[in-house]
Structure formats: C-alpha cells, structure tokens
Amino acid sequence: MAVLFVCAVFVLEATSFIFAMAAVVVLAGWEWARLSGVNNQVGRVVFALCIGAVCFLVLNNHLQEMSLYMSPILWGLALYWVTRYPTLLVWKFVFSRLLFGVLVLISTWSALVVLKQSNDFVVWVLLLMGLIWGADSGAYFAGRAFGKRKLARFVSPGKSWEGVAGGLVLTQIGVIIFAFLSDFSLSNWCLLAVIALVTSSVSVLGDLTESLFKRHEGIKDSSHLIPGHGGVMDRVDSLTAAAPIYVLLLSLVGWL
C-alpha cells in the first residue's frame, strides 16, 4: 500500500493519477454497496460501475471543484447519523446509504483531482496524509493511555474523547513544525492550524461513519481485498471525509 501510494504521488502524471484514483474509488464503491446492504454481487458491481461513470461525467464537465461544496453538508449529515445511532431511521434505508456513498466517493475523488492540479501537489497531499495519520496515531496512543469517556459508545466503543484530543494535539505539533520549515507568516500559520484542526476532526467522523454502516450490517471489514487489512474502505474511510474538506478549505483561502 505504501509503495503504491508513493508511486501515485511521485511518479504518475496528471492523467494517470486521475484514472488511478478513479480505480480506487470504484473498488471502494463495490465495497460501499456491501456496507449499504446490497447482498448480491451483480448489484455491487453495477453500483461500482456507476461510481466510475459519475467520475467520468464530473471530469468531462469540469465539476470537480463544485462537487467539493457538497462535503460540509454530507459530513454534517453523517455527524447527525452517528450521534443519533441507533434510533434514527433514515440511514437504515439501502437507497439512502447508496446515495450518500456516491456523493462521498465522488467528492473524495474530486478533491484528489483538484489537489493534483496544484503546483504544490506533493506538499499538500503529504500534509493531508500526515494530518490523517497523525490524528489516527495520536488518538490510538492517547486513547490507550488516558481514554475513559466514550466518543460514540454505540458506533465504535473503542474510541474515546481523550483519544481524539491526543490526535488533535499531535497534528497541531506537526503543523507547527511544517509552518516553521515552510517559513509561514503568523497569519498563514493560524490559517493552517484551523484547516488542520477541522481536517483532523472530520477524519475521525469518516472512520465513525464507516463503523456505523459496518455495525448495522454486522460485518468486521468492508471486504477482503487487502489480505490481513480488510478492504479499501477500511484504509480510506478517514480520507473520504478529510480530503474534500481539506481541499475545499485550501481553495477558499487561496492556496490552491
């Protein structure tokens, strides 16, 4: 996985990168159909192909940046679902979860496409992954050491508020180092700190949302495509939430 990611970032030119990321979201779409309650293989394949078709339509009509503006609404809705689980009924419908999946996966792919078109693509994408990995690693160690208050007891009992706080602190330390090495002004550092805070927080929501769907379907992993590590969605669940919000915020402050 690490080798493939490094190749995608440093080796692939724009067109190859766009199609490679489309292939990833198509695979994720196949898994999302399972998370949404589609039990037959034909239905899952059809849904995955629909994801690919929508990627083509978005690219052909230059709608990548516009699709990013869906993200705050989508993840606001996801937050509502997570906090109301298991009493809320809307998310239990297969169609609701499939529609949500289309919008989430397309906005994730669009974010990576927009990021690839930036002059500082490598810097921004590595910072994005650093924020996601930092939030996850900080949450793991802080949660193990100090975790007492459950973050979402019915969705993911292992996560704690103390873990989330540890992840956010670690990402902010990383932001300070990045800003110092990049010779950022104080105002730019403050902007980046806010972007990092929002991105890291939303990445946790991406993880919780997939956990909600998996818990409802009674499955441990989204698939077995990656031996020993589950499926594609199990590896990119945080990215689906973090990437669109991160790229949207970078665009709004004029850094892309």
Residue 245: the pLDDT is 97
pLDDT at 92 over 90: no
Tell me the average pLDDT across 173-193: 94
The answer, yes or no, to whether residue 229 has pLDDT greater than 70, is: no
The region of weakest confidence among 107-111, 154-158, 204-208 is: 154-158
Categorize the per-residue pLDDT at 170 as very low, low, confident or very high, splitting at 50, 70 and 90.
very high
What pLDDT was estimated at residue 194?
Answer: 97
Q: Check if the beta carbon of residue 210 is closer than 8 Å to that of residue 100.
A: no
pLDDT digits (tens, 9 = 90+) for 41-72: 999 999 999 999 999 999 988 899 999 999 99
| Mean pLDDT along residues 91-101 | 88
- Of 98, 85, 70, the closest CA to residue 209 belongs to 85
pLDDT-based confidence at residue 2 (cuts at 50, 70, 90): low
Give me the percent of the chain exceeding a pLDDT of 70: 98
The average pLDDT across 236-247 equals 93
Average pLDDT, the chain: 90
pLDDT at 228: 64
What was the pLDDT predicted at 10? 86
